Amino acid sequence: MATHDANLSPGRRMKIPAATKTRHLRKWGLPVETLVLGLTLLLWIVMSISTSTFLTSNNVVNILRQVSIDSIIAFGVLFPILIRGIDLSVGSVVALSGVVCATLLTMGLPIPIAIALTLVLGVAIGSLNAFSVYRLGIPAFIITLAGLQAFRGGAFLVSDGTSVFGLPKALSAFARAEWLGIPSLFWSMLVIGLVLHFILSRTRTGRYMVAMGSNHESARRAGINIKRIVFFAYIVSSVTACIAGMLLMARMSIGSPTAGVAYELNAIAAAVVGGASLFGGRGSVLGTFIGALLFATIANAANLLGIDSFWQMVATGVLIAAVVYVDNLHKRRQSGMK
Amino acid sequence: MLKSTPISHRLTPVALAFTAATGLLMGSSAQAQDQDITIPVVIKATTASYWQAVFDGAHQAADKLGIQIEELGPANETEVARQISIMENLVSRQPSAIVLAPVSNDALAGPVEAATDAGIPVVIIDSGVDTDRYASLIATDNFAAGQRAGHALAGCIEKSSGNASGEVAYLRTNPNGESLVSRDNGFLDAMKQYPDIEVVDNRVANNDTAKAMNDTLDLLNRYPDLKGIFADNQLMGDGAGTAFAEQNAADDVCLVAFDSSELEVDFLRQGVIDSLVVQDPYMMGYSGVWFAYAASQGVALPRSVDTGVHVATTDSVDEPDFTGLLDPKQRQLTPYLAPTGSADSTDSN
């Protein structure tokens, strides 16, 4: 997956995006993603040597399960970030979708219908966010911060403040299932990741998003349908959060209104550590996955090494700061070289 | 306006008569004048069914007393600042009394003293607080409850592997609440009585079920010979139970958890959770409101009341003793309180 340099003029990018990408790949490689991938691999190697429990099929399957839901949310959040927006509501949407889907299921609705209705909810939330940003001109940070509160409140209202219990056993059976030794949750993440990767790298919509994030005004002048792109980005973000919410619900076998607290921040951190720029126009699905994998590995390693839970939080914070700093250094050098 | 005046004059005596009649009908219980008393019940987390049981008990008591309660509390036990601001707002509203389950023993001490200074009696439920300026404390003796959990875990290990020995670990909700710390200390104290059992690890899961599940998976992985896990509250129990079910760990590893969500009780029936240490949140809410009402009438109350714990196992889960404890909706207080009606008369001045 390519990184996208915000310094390029959008006009030029739109004419020959593929060629530009390849040249940059050759010239600079994959800066942050490479660094983070290196860090993750290093951590895996160190853990494999220093503990006998890390590189066991059981533990690897655990990490894959743990990274799946976080990655799916992070993939979604990447889309608004690409167009220089943000979506802070996804953590609350995870809770709301889990609680809504669980309530529908306990009312006796068949599983496919409950899932479909919950996805419709995701489309509605995404459309609402996009409408507020595009038509009402409310800053994305503010409107999705409002959503973070409102949707969490909605989750409490729907569930009457407590967990929704009594889901069909088929759901937890799905969440626990493995296929070819790989957990179903990870397969779900792979499918969603591949679809979103394809959209970003192979479709016009994807290229327009990157162009728009790099330079909003030029993109508009170049005739890109900004409205369509904004709606697409926020709907992707909400719908993936709904999918993640339902997967989490299936895995926990309860719809919990407290699920997903602060997940939006983990998702944004994964995207940023994976090479996304909060100023838009830069970021990738693969990089985001690597970012999420690094965080999941740190959490797992801390547990296996018995490192204090609080030190683990500190370490994660320091790591985010360090990675973004190194990335900035790299970018500065890049523009210097020009 | 002029036309309507005679009508309202004509209506007023009717309304007065109605009020008087109602007063006469209810007068015998001396409760009619208390209809406007509202006692706020501030709990730790609106999202756990444990606290819903507290509210259920509180409502039951309020119905008996003919007063109102107001359900308040942060969404999560970790929101200390939120609960403090709830208390501050209450003090300025001057209710007759407050029932409070403090999320933090030191941070809530100030607000409790402020309420007492303002002449509002505070009945503390569930968890202690670092001040003695409250009306009464109605709680589980959490140290003793933690010990019960420890003995239940040791008993399970002895039953499944022949002797009480091996490695155990525990999941902590958060290291901030007095009730949870006492519970963990009680657990560790009980474990000391089994020289062959070693407590090898503990994880803080921040009252997040998903984190409790991941931490449990990692504990099971890190210690392949682990014999038991203790989960120190309901959300920890939900998470640990889900992890056990996912890993099919129930046969090899004992799991003892606290409280009784529907998910936990389901796990207990399946044998995924071996024992649940069940408190009596319903009784805390019920007696909390009675005590708060009594305190608002100037009654001096006992300093502390222990509401006790019970250990439910997979074998005993369906015994009638546990029905009301495991499912507050089925709670029956009648055998103890209703026939004599003595409880009513004790408190109605």
pLDDT at A101: 96
**Which chain A residue is nearest to residue B236, measuring alpha carbons?**
A252
Tokens of A320: 């985010």
- Please give the pLDDT value at position B341: 40
* Distance, first Cα to last Cα, chain B: 45
Instruction: Sort B330 into a burial class: Cβ within 10 Å, 0-12 / 13-18 / 19+.
Output: exposed
pTM value > 0.80: no
Dihedral angle of Cα B230, B234, B236, B238, to the nearest 10 degrees: 110
Considering only the beta carbons, identify the residue of B46, B222, B261 that sits closest to A156: B46
Query: Phi-psi region for residue B233, left (φ > 0), alpha (ψ -120 to 50) or beta?
Result: beta
Contact (CB, 8 A) for A163 and B263: yes
Neighbours of B59 (CB within 10 A): 17
A72 vs A83: CA distance, rounded Å: 19
Contact A256 B47 (CB under 8 A): yes
Suggest the residue from B43, B203, B206, B221 to mutate for an interface test with chain A (most A CBs closer than 10 A).
B221
Tokens of B151: 């003995």
Residue whose C-alpha is closest to residue A91's, from A72, A105, A106: A72
Closest residue of chain B to A173, computed from CA coordinates: B246
Interface of B with A (CB under 8 A): 45-49, 52, 75-76, 201, 203-210, 213-215, 217-219, 221-222, 224, 235, 238-239, 242, 245-247, 261-263, 266
Q: Which residues of chain B are within 8 Å of residue A163 when distances are taken between CB atoms? A: 47-49, 238, 261-263
pLDDT of residue B246: 87
| Identity at A192, one-letter amino acid code | I
**Under 8 Å between Cβ of B260 and B163:** no
Distance from CA of A304 to the nearest CA of B (A): 5
Q: What is the pLDDT of residue A337?
A: 53
Taking an 8 Å cut-off on Cβ atoms, the answer to whether B242 and A253 are in contact is: yes
Nearest chain B residue (CA) to A304: B222
Cβ within 8 Å, pair A66-B214: yes
pLDDT string in tens for chain B (349-residue length): 333 444 444 444 444 444 444 444 444 444 445 557 899 999 998 877 788 889 999 999 999 999 999 999 988 788 889 899 999 999 888 999 999 999 888 889 999 999 999 999 999 999 889 899 999 999 989 999 999 999 999 999 999 888 889 999 999 988 777 788 999 999 999 999 999 999 999 998 888 888 899 999 999 988 989 999 999 988 899 999 999 998 888 888 999 999 888 899 999 999 999 999 998 899 999 999 999 999 999 999 999 999 888 999 998 888 887 888 887 777 777 555 444 444 443 333 3
Q: Are A87 and A76 in contact (CB under 8 A)?
A: yes
Which positions in chain A have a beta carbon within 8 angstroms of at least one beta carbon in chain B?
51, 53, 56, 58-59, 62, 65-66, 152, 156, 161-163, 165-166, 172, 175-176, 248, 251-254, 256-259, 261, 299-300, 303-304, 306, 309-310
> Nearest CA to CA, how far is B203 from chain A (Å)?
7
Contact B266 A165 (CB under 8 A): yes
CB contact under 8 A, A162 and B52: yes
Domains of chain A plus CATH, in order, are: 30-276+284-337 (1.10.3470)
Q: Which alpha helices (H) appear in chain B, and where do they start and end?
A: 4-27, 49-65, 80-93, 109-117, 142-161, 178-192, 209-222, 234-247, 262-270, 281-296, 320-326, 334-337, 342-347
Whole-angstrom CA distances from B166 to A73, B198, B256, B268 are 40, 6, 16, 23
Nearest CB among A163, A253, A261 relative to B208 is that of: A261
Mutate to test the interface with A, among B76, B213, B217, B223 (most CBs of A within 10 A): B217
Task: Please tell me which of the candidates A62, A254, A306 has its beta carbon nearest to residue B238.
Answer: A254
* ipTM for the whole predicted complex goes beyond 0.85: no
The CA distance from B241 to B263, in Å, is 8
Nearest CB partner across the interface for A309, out of B203, B210, B247: B203
* CA dist., res. A76 & res. B36, Å (int): 51
- Measured between its terminal Cα atoms, the distance across chain A in Å is 23
Quote the pLDDT of residue B43. 93
Q: What is the pLDDT of residue A1?
A: 39
Question: Do A156 and B49 count as a contact with CB atoms less than 8 A apart?
Answer: no
Contact B221 A162 (CB under 8 A): no
Task: Please report the domains of chain B, with CATH numbers, ordered by start residue.
Answer: 32-140+281-308+330-347 (3.40.50.2300), 142-278 (3.40.50.2300)
Pick the residue from chain B with its C-alpha nearest to A161. B47
Please give, one letter per residue, the 3-state secondary structure of chain A.
CCCCCCCCCHHHHHHCHHHHHHHHHHHHCCHHHHHHHHHHHHHHHHHHHHCCCCCCHHHHHHHHHHHHHHHHHHHHHHHHHHCCCCCCCHHHHHHHHHHHHHHHHHCCCCHHHHHHHHHHHHHHHHHHHHHHHHCCCCCHHHHHHHHHHHHHHHHHHHHCCCCEECCCHHHHHHHHCEECCEEHHHHHHHHHHHHHHHHHHHCHHHHHHHHHHHCHHHHHHCCCCHHHHHHHHHHHHHHHHHHHHHHHHHHHCEECCCCCCCHHHHHHHHHHHCCCCCCCCCCCHHHHHHHHHHHHHHHHHHHHHCCCHHHHHHHHHHHHHHHHHHHHHHHHHHHHHC
Cβ density class B207-245: b for 16+ within 10 Å, e for less: bbbbbbbbbbbbbbbbbeebbbbbbbbbbbbbbbbbbbb
Residue B223, min C-alpha distance to chain A (Å): 8
pLDDT < 50 regions, chain A:
1-29, 338
Q: How far apart are CA B205 and CA A237, in angstroms?
A: 27
Contacts of A258 in chain B (CB under 8 A): 45, 47, 75-76, 207-209, 235
